[in-house]
Structure formats: structure tokens, C-alpha cells
Amino acid sequence: MKPGLLLRVFALALLIVLLVAPQAFRDFFALFVRPTQPPIYTQGNLLDITLSHLMIVAIAIGLSTMVAVSLAILVTRPFGAEFLPLSRAIANVGQTFPPVAVLALAVPMLGFGTAPTLVALFLYGLLPIFENTLTGLTTLPEDVMEASRGVGMTGWQRLTQVELPLALPIILAGIRLSTVIALATATIGSTVAARTLGEVIIAGLTTGNTAFVLQGGLIVGVLAVLIYDSLSALEKWLARRTGRLTRADA
């Protein structure tokens, strides 16, 4: 087993133990607290909080992917090319307004809880996926496209059987970027009562408990690295299957 892979397996194993049996790390986290402070976050179950965090990210990125890919497909069709500036403006909304600002605007309309966080993450995830999908669909090998037209494929058949499969590694690169950003950004959702790992970090900051901050930060960081690596590996596998190289293969 390669050293890098071995390290990631070890990190995953430690993460699972931390989530399932956090008391096993009590002595370690006790190094970062005062004698009167609890070393392990017990105001909520770490596993439940982490699963909630991941669920929020998955839903938001799933919605971002559907909208961004649909917009990119629309503007790469002859009848939709004129909508490119509008589509790009829509995808840029999340980058124009910081997530904190989106939360502040969404709370009065949606109330406290998960909904404002989903809106912020959804908007923030649009641009990388849209731009990568656009790149993937507009840089397809011309000989392959000519061959698909030559065999009599319809526009729908070319899209679903040729264009999207060939563009998938590049689309996945955008999804990977949006997912990693969302994993970190979701922590601010706890400021509006969303159940994310931000509640562990905020609890540590408000009470001066460094161990809580470390627990929340370590879980988010390890998740980000593991998910990033997993999606990168999937990109490379897809790139080999389709014969298309992405930056991940360089």
C-alpha cells in the first residue's frame, strides 16, 4: 500500500473512532483545556452533528449541480447561446455575496435553521460547477462530435451518450471544488441554528475551550481532505476511461 493511501486510511480510522467513541481521545484533548473545562464536546453527539453537516452539504451541492449543469447545457445549445451572459450572472451570484451576507438576507425570509444555510451553500457552489461544465462541453474532440453526427445521432443522444460522458471528469472537478468549499463554509450555518460542526467550534470559541475548537476543526479538515482525494481519484478513473486528461492527471 502506498504511503499516501496508508496515511489516508489511518486518518479515516481515527476520524471514525473520534466520532463513535470520542472519550478515547479524552487524554489528548485534555492537553488543550483548563482543569475546570471538559475536554470532549458533550452538548451533542459528534457523529449525529457530522452526519447532519454532511447531509446539508450534499443537498446543497446536489441542487447546485442540477442547476449549474442545466444552465451550461442550455447555453451550449444553438437555441440557448444568447443566454450565456445571463446564466453566468446567475452562477456568479454566490461569489458576489459572501455566505454570511446571504445568511443575513435569508433568515428574515426563511427563519432560523437549515434553510438559510442551504441557500448560501447552493449559491456559493454554482460558479465552479457551471464554469467546469461549460468548459467540458465546449472542448470536446471535434472528430468524436463529427462521428456522432455522422452515425445519425439526435441532439439528445449526442448530449447523453457522448457529450456528458466525455465532459464528466471536468464537471466532477467543479463539483469537487464546490464540495470542499461547502464543507468549510457550512460551519457558519450554526450561527443561524443549523446543525453543523460549527456549533462545536462556536462553543469552543465562546467558552475559551480550545479542545472544542480543535475537535470541530479537525473533523471538518479530515473530511475535506478525504472527500477531495476520493473525488480526485474518481476524476482520474473517469479521465482514463474517456481518454480525456484533466488537471488532476497532470
Q: Is residue 4 predicted with pLDDT exceeding 80?
A: no
| Domain assignment of residue 106, given as a range | 46-249
Which pLDDT band holds residue 243 (cuts at 50, 70, 90)?
Answer: low
| Spatial contact of 215 and 32, defined as CB atoms under 8 Å apart | no
pLDDT in tens, 168-204: 999 999 999 999 999 999 999 999 989 999 999 999 9
With CA atoms as reference, report the closest residue to 210 among 16, 26, 30.
30
Residue 5: pLDDT over 90: no
Q: Is residue 129 part of a domain?
A: yes
Domain-located, residue 107: yes
Residue 19 lies in a domain: no
Whether residue 245 lies inside any domain: the answer is yes
Per-residue pLDDT, averaged over 206-231, amounts to 95
* Residue at 12 is within a domain: no
Are 214 and 224 in contact by the 8 Å Cβ rule? The answer is no
Structural domain includes residue 198: yes
Average pLDDT over residues 53-78: 96
Q: In terms of Cα–Cα distance, which of 45, 64, 63 is closest to 53? A: 45
Give the domain CATH number at 129. 1.10.3720.10
| pLDDT exceeds 70 at position 33 | yes
Q: How far apart are CA 37 and CA 134, in angstroms?
A: 52
CB environment 54-77: b (16+ within 10 A), e (fewer): bebbeebbebbbebbbebbbebbe
pLDDT value of position 133: 96
Task: Examine residue 31 and state whether it is found in any structural domain, yes or no.
Answer: no
- Over residues 133-166, the pLDDT tens digits come to 999 999 988 888 889 888 888 888 999 999 999 9
Distance of CA 94 to the CA centre of its chain: 14
Q: Is residue 25 part of a domain?
A: no
41 versus 1: the higher-pLDDT residue is 41
DSSP state of 39: S
User: Considering the chain, what percentage of its residues have pLDDT values greater than 70?
Assistant: 96
Q: How many domains does the chain have?
A: 1
Give residue-wise pLDDT tens across range 96-126: 888 888 888 889 888 898 999 999 999 999 9
